[in-house]
């Protein structure tokens, strides 16, 4: 029997429904959950990351959720031959996290390459997925289509299983991500389920916490990306911010409106100002009115610089003490290693391998 659904009710996908339920449970009982999320050290974190995920991590930490943040250094090699400037980008991520309020006393920041037991989980996990399953991952397909490499490496196909190890080594049950990461979370659920069926209950089946990431475009009108030079980094100076926004793509219509569908470049700038000012984008656009792109860009620059000023001030303080900053990672890695070794012990026990 079917029940009538009002025409206006939004149709949620199973992942969206799980995410909405999870959000409620997190607010009710934050201490029950462990979050695992991460970034590849391929560049500087930018405003898209900030409004999309970074703010949310700090919110979850402050709610009382146990947060693990991975600097996914092995995953850098999926779509490039070598990992350039790894130390610089890793330091940069640490500075951003600390400046935004990730608190090393409550949250654990770590890198792939420092946690051998995490990486070892990849082997049994790969045995639980078929080559066909790895090959039809839509995010992987998209990344292959955009890759600048002449050949696709084995890591490109297998990194989603590695990402399952990232999540499951610490028995993370909440993974705050954007839509593009959903196939990886689905694969993680599959791997957890199959492992538990085959060897006995070890892993939780984690769920994605989908953030309603606002659609901010890069300054060239394309997808905002760490490695494309089209974003405003959190760690940029006020002058660098002004220069980047000045160079952003707009259009010839002097009258500023918020109309993402027809005026993507202008609307993305309006939205950015609105997010920083915590105001409605239509109102921000109406106020600029006939001021044209120049007035729009002035408004955006001022809003971004004012909003980020305290974050950037804290970032500069941490940057003056890299010894401390790196000690945060060292301690995080120690904690992650202890957790990973415990889980690997359970996996060995369950599989009956050498201990
Ligand atoms: N693939 C993620 C990205 O490119 C980074 C990442 C690696 C990640 N491992 C993860 C995210 C585990 C969430 C959970 O942004």
Q: Which of 71, 146, 176 is nearest to 113 (CA)?
A: 71
Q: Are the CB atoms for 305 and 277 separated by under 8 Å?
A: no
Please compute, for residue 124, the number of CA atoms within 13 A of its CA located in the half-sphere on the CB side: 24
**Domain boundary assignment for the chain:** 14-213+322-351, 226-319
| pTM, 2 dp | 0.93
The parts of the chain modelled with pLDDT lower than 50 are 1-3
pLDDT given for residue 1 in this prediction: 44
**Cα(238)–Cα(89) distance, integer angstroms:** 20
Please compute, for residue 140, the number of CA atoms within 13 A of its CA located in the half-sphere on the CB side: 23
pLDDT given for residue 226 in this prediction: 84
pLDDT given for residue 6 in this prediction: 54
Q: Is the CB of 73 under 6 A from ligand 1?
A: no
pLDDT digits (tens, 9 = 90+) for 22-36: 999 999 999 999 999
Q: Does domain 14-213+322-351 have CATH number 3.40.50.620?
A: yes
Q: Is the CB of 175 under 6 A from ligand 1?
A: yes
**Largest CA-CA distance found in the chain, in angstroms, rounded:** 72
pLDDT digits (tens, 9 = 90+) for 148-196: 888 999 999 999 999 999 999 999 999 998 888 999 999 999 999 999 9
* CB count in 10 Å sphere of residue 82: 7
**Cα(142)–Cα(336) distance, integer angstroms:** 31
Q: Is the CB of 70 under 6 A from ligand 1?
A: yes
pLDDT given for residue 7 in this prediction: 55
**Cα(221)–Cα(154) distance, integer angstroms:** 32
pLDDT given for residue 116 in this prediction: 98
Q: Is the CB of 163 under 6 A from ligand 1?
A: yes
CA of 354 to the centre of ligand 1 (A): 30
In CATH terms, the superfamily for domain 226-319 is: Tyrosyl-Transfer RNA Synthetase (1.10.240.10)
């Amino acid at each position: 029997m079917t029940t009538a659904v009002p025409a206006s009710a939004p149709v949620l996908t199973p992942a969206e429904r799980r995410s909405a339920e999870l959000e409620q449970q997190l607010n009710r009982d934050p201490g029950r959950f462990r979050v695992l999320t991460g970034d590849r050290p391929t560049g500087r974190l930018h405003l898209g990351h900030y409004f999309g995920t970074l703010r949310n991590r700090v919110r979850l930490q402050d709610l009382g959720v146990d947060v693990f943040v991975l600097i996914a250094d092995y995953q850098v090699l999926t779509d490039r031959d070598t990992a350039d400037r790894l130390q610089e980008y890793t330091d940069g991520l640490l500075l951003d996290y600390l400046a935004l309020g990730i608190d090393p006393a409550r949250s654990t920041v770590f890198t792939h390459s420092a946690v051998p037991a995490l990486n070892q989980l990849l082997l049994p996990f790969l045995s639980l997925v078929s080559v066909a399953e790895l090959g039809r991952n839509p995010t992987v397909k998209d990344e292959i289509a955009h890759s600048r490499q002449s050949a696709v490496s084995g890591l490109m196909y297998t990194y989603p299983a590695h990402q399952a190890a990232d999540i499951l080594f610490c028995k993370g049950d909440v993974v705050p991500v954007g839509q593009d990461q959903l196939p990886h979370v689905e694969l993680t659920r599959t791997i957890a389920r199959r492992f538990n069926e085959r060897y006995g209950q070890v892993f939780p089946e984690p769920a994605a916490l989908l953030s309603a990431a606002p659609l901010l475009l890069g300054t060239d009108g394309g997808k905002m990306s760490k490695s494309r030079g089209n974003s405003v980094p959190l760690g940029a100076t006020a002058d660098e911010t002004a220069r980047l926004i000045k160079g952003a793509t707009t259009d010839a219509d002097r009258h500023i409106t918020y109309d993402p569908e027809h005026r993507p470049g202008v609307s993305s700038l309006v939205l950015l100002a609105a997010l920083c000012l915590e105001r409605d984008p239509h109102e921000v656009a109406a106020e600029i009115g006939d001021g044209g792109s120049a007035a729009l860009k002035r408004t955006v620059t001022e809003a971004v610089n004012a909003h980020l000023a305290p974050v950037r001030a804290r970032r500069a303080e941490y940057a003056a003490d890299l010894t401390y900053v790196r000690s945060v990672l060292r301690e995080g890695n120690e904690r992650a290693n202890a957790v990973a070794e415990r889980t690997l012990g359970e996996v060995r026990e369950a599989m009956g391998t050498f201990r």
